[in-house]
Amino acid sequence: MQTDSSFTFVLFGGTGDLSMRKILPALFEAHRAGGMLADSGKIVAVARHVADRSEYLQWVNEHVKPHVSKNGVDEAAWASFLTRIEFAKIDLGNPDDFVLLRDAVKDLPGIRVFYLATGPSLFVPICRALASVGLNENARIVLEKPLGYDLKSSNAINDAVGEIFAEEQIYRIDHYLGKEPVQNLLALRFGNALFEPLWRREWVESIQITIAEELGVEARGDFYDNTGALRDMVQNHLLQLLSIVAMEPPHSMDSDSVRDEKLRVLRALKPISPLDIGKVAVRGQYHSGVIRGNAVPAYATEPGVKQNSTTETFVALKVEIENWRWAGVPFFLRTGKRLADRVAEIVVNFRPVPHSALGASALRAGANRLVIRLQPNETIRLYCLAKQPGEGMNLASVHLDLAFDQFFREGQMEAYQRLLLDVINGRLALFVRRDEQEAAWRWVEPILNEWKASNKPPKPYASGTWGPAAASAMLAQHGTCWLEEEN
């Protein structure tokens, strides 16, 4: 991915956790690879707790460097990367300080990208302050999640930002869309005649999408207790992955063609009646337990969590899509904290053969399945049945494995690296359009409202398990189970 696009990348929240762990390491990897970033491109970090550029570079060396290059740091590349970095000491609460930012970037080259790695409460004030000094013209703005607390607040932010930036200037980032296996899912479906004929209700029995974390809320108790798993993960990451899995083939891979098809999926989601929410939605909250041999506390005792909090840390849903391709196929979504393993994956369970001359094992659910693993290791596996060696016709599960690190020796591109390069080069396909976001909020809100109205506590589950038993019972009603062990 070569580029001649000159740029000035302005990073708000330049000393924040996201900048430290993801954004600056991703920009370094693009720089180190050579040719991905224009030589003239500059990074301007914005913060208020650092005195000047020298002190900021010291912070970068101390905090960012440990997060780059798994195989060690190329010191020459690191030194040249630091020459790209400028610094502006700005108090985001003082609009007058944005005159200083304007002066800092006025002579820097190329397209201006403003990345808001801040809390959502600062999105609108920053955008208005940028407009007050003319920095919104011919620029791009990147918004991190969460974008709002509900549909109303999301629309309020989008309305305010939309008065300052045109829709084609706004990049709402969802880093799961930048992951290599998600890109390969598109290639698998739309680049091969093998899978597309099977990708429909006649051949697919069910689909699971899981994003599981071993970590708890860590130091984010205040934020998480006002958010919960449904807002934090389902409304964005899980529904975006679902739309990628279920979308119709776009006529091309340009940004609006892809996003139009995703939108059609989100609008086809079957609304969940308040009377049915108890049957198709499970919410849980982790209690104390053991993860990898270490005792971990209950959510209720985490710093920042309100006493007797009913915030969910686990959600499992049964989702249906009301269109010709997917009518009657259940999609099971699951996410949670303090679960038994850290994994993100999509599991497509194909229907068993209609009649088996080879015994009952050929009819079992899940004998034929496609597993797209997003983390921790990125792979795609196709499972089928084969005869075991020896006497008789005994079947065993075998798989074809696409392990990206073995097939492609040059190494994979991290999600943030891909997405940041797309922003710099003006590619919108992997970013969430406003109408997609609104459709997702509309579908999620009845669940949020019913949970709030019922005031029922979440179902407890021990840390280090796979969540409440009710989540497994929901799948058992459909003759299937969660895929929870995959080597």
- Measure the CA–CA gap between 122 and 9, rounded to whole angstroms: 18
User: Is 232 within any annotated ligand binding site?
Assistant: yes
Token pair listed for 25:
């390491």
Give the whole-angstrom CA distance, residue 393 versus residue 365.
19
174 annotated as a binding-site residue: no
Q: What is the dihedral of CA 327, 329, 333, 339, to 10 degrees?
A: 170
Cβ-count burial of 458 within 10 angstroms (0-12 exposed, 13-18 middle, 19+ buried)? buried
- Joined tokens for residue 168: 């084609």
State how far Cα 158 lies from the chain centre.
20
Catalytic hit among 63, 237, 251, 478 = 237
Encode 31-45: b = buried (16+ Cβ within 10 Å), e = exposed. Answer: bbbeebbbeebbbbb
User: Is 214 known to sit in a ligand binding site?
Assistant: no
Residues 6+ apart with CB under 8 A from 485: none
- The answer to the question of whether 213 is labelled as a binding residue is yes
159 is in an annotated binding site: no
Contact 45, 79 (CB under 8 A): no
Q: Is 287 a catalytic residue?
A: no
Q: Is 48 annotated as a binding residue?
A: yes
> Which H/E stretch holds residue 425?
none
Cα-Cα end-to-end distance for the chain: 32
Inter-helix orientation angle 24-33/75-82, to 10°: 120
Rounded to whole angstroms, the Cα distance separating 226 from 230 reads 11
Question: What residues contact 3, with CB distance under 8 A and at least 6 apart?
Answer: 35, 36, 37, 38, 421, 424, 425
Contact of 396 with 367, CB cutoff 8 Å: no
Annotated binding residue 402 = no
C-alpha dist (Å) from residue 191 to 130, 132, 183, 195, 278: 42, 47, 11, 9, 40
Backbone phi and psi for residue 443, each to the nearest 5 degrees, phi listed first: -75, -35
147 carries a ligand binding annotation: no
Query: Is residue 381 part of an annotated ligand binding site?
Result: no
Residues with catalytic function = 237
List, as residue ranges, the binding site. Answer: 48, 91-92, 145, 175, 179, 213, 232, 337
List, as residue ranges, the binding site for substrate. Answer: 175, 179, 213, 232, 337
List, as residue ranges, the binding site for NADP(+). Answer: 48, 91-92, 145
